[in-house]
Amino acid sequence: MSKPVTIRDVKVILTAPEGINLVIVKIETSEPGLYGLGCATFTQRYLMVKVAIEDYLRDFLIGKDVANIEDIWQSCMVNSYWRNGPALNNALSGVDMALWDIAGKRAGMPVYDLLGGKTREAAAIYRHADGKSVGEVEENVRKFMEQGLLYIRCQMGGYGGRIHEIQTPKGALPGAYFDPNAYMRDTVRLFEHMRSKVGNEIELLHDVHERLAPIEAVRLSKNLEPYRLFFLEDALAPESVDWFRIMRAQSATPIAMGELFTHPQEWLPLITERLIDFIRCHISTIGGITPAKKLAHLCEAFGIRTAWHGPGDVSPVGHAANLHLDLSSANFGVQEWWGPTEIIYEMFPGTPELRQGYIYPSDKPGLGIDIDEALAAKYPCDNTQSIRPTGWTTARTPDGGSWRP
């Protein structure tokens, strides 16, 4: 019987090549030259993830057999006793993805083959078209259409539609102010314009980002019905998911949910009661590939498709993991894509490539992606971006009240 390959060391690599704090985990093994990479990116609290890995998980993991992915996931999840939080889940994800990467490299196979093989050759993606007016949004949509995209998310003025001058009380605190009522009216007007100009051949999406009171989110969902959205994303906050029963009863607009989920009890009722149409979890925040594949299978049984979270605060390693799940899942829907810059492809060779509306994997063993650690060190993280008082996570309504971002 051959000697098992074990974990020799666990390292954390922090880098911000595009000004967004990324956390990469590197697991080195007892086999010389064999290592794996995983995404543990919790941008807003990245140092908490670093501490969780270096000061707690590292010593717990050293010496374990890299083949025991499921047991390592389960034991890491409960080792701290308290569980299902974003910092610890991201730390676990970095380990989990790195172990899947190692498993693929040892087998000489891409991870998607270990997950059951391809169900498609590439994954359809959507990108974000924003603007300060309906005309500017249309212009940006047409640019993506010229690039071959079939799915485009439309926003006007960012989350909450921050294009109006807002009268606030004297002494109101700083923040990212928005007017919920104006945002809702403008969003309906935006999609009325878009359908009249680009027709029904392109799939259009929209992200509410929790910016409305539950009853107003229901109203928006109903008002957008005539414009046949591919989906309406995060119409409600995780704390308000019971409202999906009311929304489903009153509107046929497809619903995507899950970006902020960290606990299975947040998504289980929505899936088993068929209250959503797309699951949108941030893979690293639920703990990596291991739970995500199980979640995809659960969704398949209830007719729900995947649309994993894929903005700039998912590292290229995380995007590669998303793609392996997309390719191996029969119930794949669409994949969010942020549009990497040249520095990303230089720092992370093997980053998936976009061609005519679809992203393709590198097809190398494992996740098919690597990192230039020397180059990554030249782009250090900046903790001040996590605590700036006027950032988009400090949303406020016109009267100055704090709101879900």
Q: Between 86-107 and 289-301, two packed helices, what is the crossing angle to 10 degrees?
A: 90
- Listing DSSP states for 281-340 in one string gives --HHHHTSHHHHHHHHHHHHHTT-EE----STTS-HHHHHHHHHHHHH-TTB--EE----
159 assigned to active site:
yes
Catalytic residue among 35, 159, 177, 358: 159
Q: Which of 167, 164, 166, 145 is nearest to 154 (CA)?
A: 145
Using CA atoms, how far apart are residues 87 and 51, in angstroms rounded to an integer? 9
Catalytic residue among 128, 193, 206, 209: 209
**14: helix, strand or coil:** strand
Q: Phi and psi (nearest 5°) for 379?
A: -125, 75
Q: Which of 266, 251, 258 is nearest to 234 (CA)?
A: 258
324 assigned to active site:
no
Using CA atoms, how far apart are residues 361 and 338, in angstroms rounded to an integer? 16
Any long-range contacts for 162-170 (C-beta under 8 Å, 24+ apart)? 163/132, 163/133, 166/398, 167/398, 168/398, 168/399, 168/400, 169/399, 169/400
Catalytic residues: 159, 209
